[in-house]
Chains A and B, each alone.
Chain A
Amino acid sequence: MRLQQFSNLPILGAVLGAMFFPTVASCVEMQVSTTILLGKGTCSIVSVTPATFTPALDPISAANRTADATITVNCKGLGNKTGTVALQRQNTNPLNLHNTLTPTDTIGYSLNLPGSTPVTNNTDVPITVTATILGSAYQNAAAGIYTDSVGIEVLP
């Protein structure tokens, strides 16, 4: 019993020392480092406007026509540096607009995706995607509305 009380003294002393006496801090510098990658997930799509051929296609004149879609992206993690993004299709299937009433009626078209677009950190950057229909592709098309939906991937 007496021995136990004695053995507790150093602990008590330490507590008192902490409470009533200045302590000498022990400092050590700890280096912390990390790398923020400009990974695929750092760019997000803010908005998308569709490509609409306006005015309507006139098969008699059958001129080549273009329509622009805009994909606005925002990339984070660039700091004060400039990065680039590229767009690519999610697949390589042939591009065809389908008649909304008779989907087997199609009009072939192409899509021009910019290879590389500069972006800055946390800034909305509109990227234009141009759809082109050649006159020969719709010259024999029946009247109607034709639509398609294309999967686009934004790549850092």
Chain B
Amino acid sequence: MKKMMKLALLALVGVLAAGNAMAATTDVNVTATVSEACIATTITDITIGAIDPTTDTGTLDSASHAGSTQGQINVVCTAGTAVNFTALPSVDLTGTTNGDTLTVVPILPAGPATPGIAGADYAVNASVTQAQYQSVSADTYTGTFTVTVAP
């Protein structure tokens, strides 16, 4: 009889132990990285107004020379991300008729800039020296250059 009582007691203890045990718990880690992203879009191309090598003097640029149009780009970046603008130091434009080369110099926005996620517009210009525009034949010159916007 004593043995039977012990067995029953042990079984009861087992049941209680299972019922009162703590739930299994764990911590799940969640991680995300927000990138320093930027995107630039051309709004307006650059036009340097017509140049008369016989009357124009000095270096001319699209920001101030008569008949010019400033270039404009829109930049959107991750909030708080500061960016700088870079481009090749000079760009060769090609005469559409005679194929002459007119070298111009990009004029970039001062950096660093923080356009933010709302974005901001920045002026981009180009200049041409008197020596350059006096050394080429009359023609329309075109070319492109890349502005890199990077943190």
User: Chain A nearest CB: distance from B31 CB in Å?
Assistant: 5
Contacts of A78 in B (CB 8 A): none
Q: Is the CB of A142 within 8 A of B80?
A: yes
Question: Count the B residues whose beta carbon is within 8 Å of the partner chain — how many?
Answer: 37
Contacts of A97 in B (CB 8 A): 30-32
Contacts of A143 in B (CB 8 A): 34-37, 78-81, 151
A window 59-93: CB within 8 A of B: 59-60, 65, 67, 69, 71, 73, 77, 90
Does B19 sit within 8 A of A, measured CB to CB? Answer: yes
In whole angstroms, what is the CA distance A33 to B35 when docked? 62
Which of A71, A143, A147, A154 is most buried by chain B, counting CB atoms within 10 A of its CB?
A143
If over half of A's interface residues share one DSSP class (helix, strand or loop), that class is named, otherwise mixed; here it is: strand
Q: Is the CB of A56 within 8 A of B33?
A: yes
- A89, closest chain B residue (CB): B28
Contacts of B52 in A (CB 8 A): none
B24 touches which of A34, A69, A154 (Cβ 8 Å): A154
Does B29 sit within 8 A of A, measured CB to CB? Answer: yes
User: Chain A nearest CB: distance from B77 CB in Å?
Assistant: 8
Does B87 sit within 8 A of A, measured CB to CB? Answer: no
Does B25 sit within 8 A of A, measured CB to CB? Answer: yes
Question: Count the A residues whose beta carbon is within 8 Å of the partner chain — how many?
Answer: 58
Q: Is the CB of A37 within 8 A of B15?
A: yes
Contacts of B36 in A (CB 8 A): 143
User: Chain A nearest CB: distance from B23 CB in Å?
Assistant: 4
Known: A32-B7, A41-B21. A140 touches B79 (CB 8 A): yes
A51 touches which of B19, B29, B37, B38 (Cβ 8 Å): B29
- A149, closest chain B residue (CB): B27
B window 18-61: CB within 8 A of A: 18-39
- A57, closest chain B residue (CB): B34
**Cβ contacts A110-149/B at 8 Å (1 or 0 each):** 0100000000000000000101010000111111111111
10 examples of A-B residue contacts, CB within 8 angstroms: A40-B24, A45-B25, A48-B26, A52-B32, A109-B30, A140-B79, A142-B81, A144-B33, A148-B30, A154-B26
Residues of chain A at the chain B interface (Cβ within 8 Å): 30, 32-37, 39-45, 48, 50-53, 55-60, 65, 67, 69, 71, 73, 77, 90, 95, 97, 107, 109, 111, 129, 131, 133, 138-155
